[in-house]
Chains A and B, each alone.
Chain A
Amino acid sequence: MQTTSDEVLISRIAGGDRLAMQVLYARHHVRVYRFVLRLVRNEATAEDLISEVFLDVWRQAGKFEGRSAASTWMLSIARFKALSSLRRRPEEELDEETAEQIEDHADDPEATLAKKEKGSALRQCLAGLSADHREIIDLVYYHEKSVEEVAEIVGIPEATVKTRMFYARKKLSELLKEQGIDRGWP
């Protein structure tokens, strides 16, 4: 079965087609929501933000030139909205959340190892990364974005994308080590 491409949907949205908007929303809202949620760490805020993201898509559809994939364009809008929201939010709130998640288990690495399997520990550490590191890991692994696309979404050079990914993975290894899992890298 052939589905209408995102680009065609966006051209219809530019012409005021509400149904095309519904199709695009149905296709992408979960991923956009998860991307935003991983950045803002608050479900209510993430829900509010995706409404704003897709409202921007509705308003700016006529300006979309199709130079990048529609999902890349939407994630760029989502990132901008999420960061604007975080700027309005007290920094301490985020830091405390992150600290709680990591320190709870770092106190007793042996007990953690006994209780949790490696995958679970890895997920725990992925959740404990900084916003920048979480973002790049998610874009590469979950949103399947190429080096060029990540550079476009985050607004950094391609070489920096690779370096940031390297440091995100390095930090992940360090967090795992704190939990008693030595990956032998880096």
Chain B
Amino acid sequence: MNATNQEAPGSRDIEDLLPWHAAGTLSRRDAQRVEEALARDPELARRYALVRDELAESIHLNETLGAPSARAMEKLFAKIDAEPERRQSASFGLGSRISDFLASLSPRTLAWSASAAVFAILLQAGLIAGVMLKETKTVGYETASAPTTDPGVGAFTLIRFAPQATSDDINKFLEANKLSIAAGPMAGGLYKVRVAVTGIPKGELARIVKKLQEDKVVGFIAATE
């Protein structure tokens, strides 16, 4: 029996951890314990050298095993292609795209992005308020069939404008599509936007929403009451 075996209880426990210490997969706390034991026990340090030899040769051995041929991949994807097509729900797609995007950002980038987004929404809110003010200030002769200003009448959508959209972009977008802002900004930077002065069938509203969605000014859009 050698020095290490005669040591205080716990030395075997430390010795058992040597393979993981060599591979670098111990927790910081355990790694620290092993380091301290290695520093004070020459026999343990000698055994650690054996472990490191084993580690090096295990890697060497595995690296000489080669790789599978392209046949394995071809076989796999032939099987995958033969599988029934998977239905991807819209919510999954959107959710996973958002989580992918957020996961790809570093915490620092994320913090800056959040600050920038808040600033952009506030700025946009100010600009859109200006647009609304300009609309309400319009005076002059109006026929009985002129668009109503009653905020409760018509067909509506909820829109969140893209953060990079300027007031000019938004003005042009509203004019080109004969839209007017009925209310907002609401929670989440959303605006209630009138798309028709009278009520329209749901199918027609859905078609309009789909069309507007394609404009780069629109970040989010949904039909609303």
Binding site for B on A (CB under 8 A): 2, 4-5, 7-8, 11-12, 14-16, 18, 21-22, 25, 29-30, 33-34, 37-38, 43, 46-48, 50-51, 54-55, 58-59, 118-119, 122-123, 126-127, 137-138, 140-142, 144-147, 149, 162, 165-166, 169, 172, 183-185
Q: Within residues 71 to 121 of chain B, which ones have a CB less than 8 A from any CB in chain A?
A: 71-73, 75-77, 79-80, 83, 85-88, 92-93, 96, 99-100, 103-104
B residues sitting closer than 8 Å to A (CB atoms) are 16-17, 19-20, 22-26, 46-47, 50-51, 53-62, 65-69, 71-73, 75-77, 79-80, 83, 85-88, 92-93, 96, 99-100, 103-104
A7 to B104, CA, bound (A): 12
**Do A165 and B62 have beta carbons less than 8 Å apart?**
no
Interface contact B68-A165, CB-CB below 8 Å: no
In contact, A122 and B54 (Cβ under 8 angstroms): yes
Q: Which residue of A lies closest to B51 (CB)?
A: A169
A160 CB → nearest B CB, Å: 12
Docked-complex contact B96 and A12, CB < 8 angstroms:
yes
Most chain-A CB neighbours within 10 Å: which of B65, B72, B79? Answer: B72
Option from B55, B83, B88 in Cβ contact (under 8 Å) with A15: B88
Residue of B nearest to A137 (CB): B58
Closest chain-A Cβ to B207's Cβ sits at a distance in Å of 27
Q: Is there contact, CB below 8 Å, between A4 and B100?
A: yes
- Are A46 and B54 in contact, CB atoms less than 8 angstroms apart? no
A47→B69 contact, CB < 8 A: yes
Contact of B80 among A2, A4, A8, A55 (CB under 8 A): A55
Within the complex, the shortest CB–CB distance from B17 to chain A, in Å, comes to: 8
Q: B85 to chain A: which residues have CB within 8 Å?
A: 16
Complex: A55 Cα to B73 Cα, angstroms: 10
Closest to B79 in A: A55
CA distance in complex: A46, B57 (Å): 22
B76 cross-chain contacts in A, Cβ below 8 A: 25, 50-51, 54-55
- Known A29-B72, A38-B65, A51-B76: A142·B83 in contact at CB below 8 Å: no
CB contacts (< 8 Å) of B57 on chain A: these are: 119, 122-123, 126
Contacts of A137 in B (CB 8 A): 54, 58
Complex CA–CA separation, A183 to B49 (angstroms):
11
Q: Which residues from B are CB-within-8-Å of A141?
A: 19, 22-23, 54-55, 58-59
Residues in A whose Cβ lies below 8 Å from that of B53: 118-119, 122
When the two chains form the complex, which single residue of B19, B79, B80 contacts A140, counting CB atoms closer than 8 Å?
B19
Q: Among the interface residues A8, A50, A51, A147, which one has the most CB atoms of the partner chain B within 10 A? A: A51
Q: Are A25 and B25 in contact (CB under 8 A)?
A: no
**Given A29-B72, A33-B72, A55-B76 in contact, is the A140-B20 Cβ separation under 8 Å?**
yes
